[in-house]
Amino acid sequence: MTLLEIGKLAQQASYELAIADSKQKNAALETIALALEANEASIVAANKKDIEAGKQAGLTEALLDRLLLDESRLAGIISDLRSVINLSDPVGEEFDSKLLENGLKLSKRRVPVGVIGVIYEARPNVTIDIAALCLKTGNASILRGGKETINSNLVLVDVIQGALVAAGLPKTAVQYIENTDRALVGELLKMDQYVDMIIPRGNSGLQQFCKENSTIPVIIGGIGICHLFAEKSVDVEKALAIIENAKVQRPSVCNALDTLLVEQQIAAEFLPKLAAKLLPLGVTLVAEPKAKAILGDDASVAQEGDFSREWLSLHLGVKVVDGLGEALTHIREHSSQHSDGILTNDFTLANQFVNAVNSAAVYINASTRFTDGSQFGLGAEVAVSTQKLHARGPMGLQELTTYKWIGVGEYLTRT
Amino acid sequence: MTLLEIGKLAQQASYELAIADSKQKNAALETIALALEANEASIVAANKKDIEAGKQAGLTEALLDRLLLDESRLAGIISDLRSVINLSDPVGEEFDSKLLENGLKLSKRRVPVGVIGVIYEARPNVTIDIAALCLKTGNASILRGGKETINSNLVLVDVIQGALVAAGLPKTAVQYIENTDRALVGELLKMDQYVDMIIPRGNSGLQQFCKENSTIPVIIGGIGICHLFAEKSVDVEKALAIIENAKVQRPSVCNALDTLLVEQQIAAEFLPKLAAKLLPLGVTLVAEPKAKAILGDDASVAQEGDFSREWLSLHLGVKVVDGLGEALTHIREHSSQHSDGILTNDFTLANQFVNAVNSAAVYINASTRFTDGSQFGLGAEVAVSTQKLHARGPMGLQELTTYKWIGVGEYLTRT
């Protein structure tokens, strides 16, 4: 099947999904859950092939771990799938309804986006996760996973498609691009006739490729160069607890802290305490000259570009700034507009910071680690958008929908 | 000044605009209104140069009319500008506020998008219109008008910039690309580092060019291939009044009717009445074979591609369909997802139509001509989006904004 055929079939399927009600979509999701349980053995066996191939290809332990789908992980994924069933369906909601002076009864109705293309890498759980969230919101999906997970993904999609048919929905509601040739990604990105939204879940290289080559709207996201600014009025001990949480709890994720900005007036007191707290936890402090002068041997010297890196590790950039103005300038230059915050007891300054920093999530006295669909109470997370249109920050089910205007008249003409 | 410098300055200006309050922005708009009044003579004189050049270049009367900016039109534009002052400012509104179980006080705050690039053609009124709407919503704008209006636009932007400075805002909040070389449009579309949103206001060639070349999110829109489906239960006379309104009232605009679909069962009665009503008004009926067989000499034969054309004239495509299914198939194939409607007395069928047609605006027994920011009560119209992300249909002030999440804690860490 060509990619164009896949696109055409996805669009056709999207017409059926758009008029499916919540009950039908939830029944299909439960059918998928049951089918995944029933096919546990073949799924795990397919994944073993991927793991074997990965070992032979010399993948790192970390990558092999991301690849792994054993019985217990599959059970976890199926449990997550059942949570999606319990979420409320945003589709069909009507809002901004009004009877206009011209006589038109007007409202906005939330509807599926249509066809969503998702490009992702190693983890096979994404296959089920995204297929389920798209299905829940009445969207057809076209999935493109990494070549490392091809065996697992093909079996997973086969099981999902079988369940779709059993539930009376088109199997083309969830499709997978089997050909692992990278050129197909470029082709997918041009299929604006059939695909309505592209979600690239991967590194900045993939994001950039999509931005440059797609004629379809792309949800850029997932890259977090996150900042905290410790302002002079801050409660030092409490601030250090937040910094520890933001940096150490899970350093490999996008909402982890990358750079700490400390106001000059408190730097001499603050930075040694920071070192005392974080160094024993394995953190490496990477300091610009002013911070280095205070930290001495407790920090290495920041190199060109270090403040524009998403560390994804136990490194923390540290910089001394002379106040809010310099903090804002630094954040504007280096932030990926994911999550940035201020640590302060000064209410006025906190508000100035919030007004001036235009990131997807801006915090006052809270950890950047909160930027997460589950923490934000969205029930699910499709991606974390760092762009400004359509959706910002954690995207839940609602962000997989759009709206249409519905106008009802009694044979009404415009005057 | 290079385009990159323009972009950089626009971004800097956007930081100032983002923290300007409504009072300050409205004062700047009033200063612009006064400055336009004070500079009426030089504006009109500059426009005369454009008109002269246009005449020598052999522009049509219609184009010259679009180009014209005389005293009375300028007065109209200034009056529109003062209406923008009276609209309420969406920026700063907070919504979806909640105190989460994890202790985080979370809300979404509406904020400006940042820097908006607008590419448009002949009409000089767009320059003032867009500059004002962007300013009202705290966005910096980079304008690129057609080369036919260069003299008018340069004077207008000069007047606007003078007023901005007088009002204490950066003159770079509104900038104009003076170089009329088309290559600069391509360059603008790649400046995703500085520009957050592109609005192309022009024909489908421009829209396509932006879609294919932009690394910045583009608001595609303004192309309307609009349908009405006259279902067999319809009240014929009332339906004809809507069709006349949709086709004849202003045929040159995007929400005008392009194609009428008539259910077979009533076609023999309906179509002759249609011809009797529309032909005297100068409408040309363009019919597929079944409709042609009924209309005879009252219609011409539809050619390949006629049902995929936005007529923008007193032409109306006419097709007989065997019921809702064929109507939906035709609309899905040919609609530009701008405005489509059903004319019917059957409540169930009307709802099926509304559920199945995924256009920006879907109507029951109302004219497609209602798709308009002013008719929809938005107070202003920046563009009519026919894409699915960020905004659909008429875009008002709110659609020039995005949101950021604001999380406030009392030194809160994630568990």
Do B244 and B188 sit in the same domain of this protein?
no
Query: Which of A221, A343, A366 lies closest to B406, judged by CA?
Result: A366
Taking a contact as any Cβ pair under 8 Å apart, which residues of chain B between 299 and 318 contact chain A?
Answer: none
A327 and A404 in a single domain? The answer is no
- Shortest Cα distance, chain B CAs vs residue A231, angstroms: 13
- Measured between CB atoms, does A250 come within 8 Å of chain B? no
Predicted local confidence at residue B182, as pLDDT: 87
pLDDT at res. A180? 85
User: Is B325 part of any domain?
Assistant: yes
B307 shares its domain with B356: yes
For the segment A113-141, the average pLDDT, to the nearest whole number, is 94
Distance of CA A89 to the CA centre of its chain: 20
pLDDT the model gives residue A368: 98
Taking all residues of chain A, what is their mean pLDDT, rounded to a whole number?
Answer: 96
Number of domains in chain B: 2
Alpha carbon distance A389, B199 (integer Å)? 13
Chain B, residues 341-360, CB within 8 A of chain A, namely: 341, 343, 354-356, 358-360
> Tell me: the pLDDT tens digits for B97-126?
999 999 999 999 999 999 999 999 878 899
B402 lies within 8 A of chain A by CB = yes
Q: What is the pLDDT of residues B151-169, one digit of tens each?
A: 999 999 999 999 999 999 9
Q: Which residues 95-114 on chain A approach chain B with CB closer than 8 angstroms?
A: 98, 100-102, 104, 106, 111, 113-114
Whole-number pLDDT of residue B20:
96
In a domain, B376, yes or no: no
Overall average pLDDT of the B18-34 stretch:
97
Give the residue, A182 or A33, on which the prediction is more confident. A33
More confident site: A374 or A258: A258
Which of A376, A405, A408 has the most B C-beta neighbours within 10 Å, making it the best mutation to test the interface with B? A405
- B366-400 per-position pLDDT tens digit: 999 999 999 998 988 899 999 999 999 999 999 99
Decide if B227 contacts B311 (C-beta within 8 A): no
The pLDDT of residue A39 is above 80: yes
Q: pLDDT tens, A316-368?
A: 999 999 999 999 999 999 999 999 999 999 999 999 999 999 999 999 999 99
Domain ranges, residue B156: 3-220+388-408
- Tell me phi and psi for residue B319, to 5 degrees: -140, 140
Let me know whether A201 and A135 are in one domain: yes
Specify the CATH number for the domain of residue A242: 3.40.309.10
The residue in chain A having the minimum alpha-carbon distance to the alpha carbon of residue B394 is: A405
Contact A369 B414 (CB under 8 A): yes
- Which member of B249, B365, B375 has the closest CB to residue A411? B365
> Is the pLDDT confidence value at A121 over 90?
no
**Residue B23 contacts A, CB cutoff 8 Å:** no
Residue A109 has pLDDT above 90, yes or no: yes
**Domain membership flag for residue B90:** yes
Cβ–Cβ under 8 Å, residues A261 and A330: yes
> What pLDDT was estimated at residue A122?
72
A-B C-beta contacts closer than 8 Å: 215
A380 part of a folded domain: no
Report CB contact under 8 Å: A411, B387: no
Nearest to B7 by CA among B266, B232, B198, B194: B194
Alpha carbon distance B8, B12 (integer Å): 6
Same structural domain for residues A211 and A267? no
A369 Cβ under 8 Å from any chain B Cβ? yes
Asked if residue B398 and residue B352 are part of one domain, the reply reads no
pLDDT of residue A379: 83
Would you call A412 and B367 a contact, using CB atoms and an 8 Å cutoff? yes
Q: Is the pLDDT of residue B180 over 90?
A: no
Residue A62 pLDDT class (50, 70, 90 cuts):
confident
Give yes or no: residues B198 and B271 share one domain: no
- pLDDT score of A14: 98
- Tell me how far apart the alpha carbons of residues A123 and A385 are, in angstroms, rounded to a whole number: 19
Residues A177 and A257 in one domain: no
**A364 to chain B: which residues are within 8 Å by CB?**
406-409
- Between CA A185 and CA A121 the distance in angstroms is 12
pLDDT at residue A380 is higher than 90: no
Scanning B24-53 for CB atoms below 8 A from A yields none
Q: Parallel, antiparallel, or unpaired for β B315-321 and B383-385?
A: unpaired
Which strands, in side-by-side order, build the sheet including A401-412? A94-99, A105-112, A401-412, B361-366, B339-343, B226-230, B257-263, B315-321, B284-287, B299-301
ipTM over 0.85: yes
Taken in order A322, A323, A329, A332, the sign of the CA dihedral is positive
What's residue B379's pLDDT?
83
Give B 50-79 residues with CB within 8 A of chain A.
none
Answer yes or no: do B135 and B112 share one domain. yes
B366/A104 CB distance under 8 A: yes
Please check whether residue B413 lies inside any domain of the structure.
no
Nearest to B18 among A358, A365, A413 (CB): A358
What residues of chain A lie within 8 A of the CB of B197, using their CB?
388-389
Task: Indicate if A69 and A179 belong to the same structural domain.
Answer: yes
Residue B381 resides in a domain: no
Give pLDDT, residue A201.
92
**Chain A residues in contact with B332 (beta carbon < 8 A):** 15
Confirm or reject contact between B407 and chain A (CB < 8 A).
yes
Same domain, A31 and A145: yes
Residue A196 sits at the chain B interface (C-beta within 8 Å): yes
Give me the pLDDT at residue B121, please. Answer: 84
Q: A118 pLDDT exceeds 80?
A: yes
> Which chain B residue lies closest to A245 (C-alpha atoms)?
B413
Same domain, A260 and A145: no
Is residue B380 assigned to a domain? Answer: no
Residue A358 lies in a domain: yes
Is residue B37's pLDDT more than 90?
yes
pLDDT digits (tens, 9 = 90+) for B47-96: 999 999 999 999 999 889 989 999 999 999 999 999 999 999 999 999 99
Residue B238: per-residue pLDDT: 98
Burial of B216 by CB count in 10 Å (0-12 exposed, 13-18 middle, 19+ buried)?
buried
Position B110 scores a pLDDT of: 98
| B386-395 pLDDT tens trace | 999 999 999 9
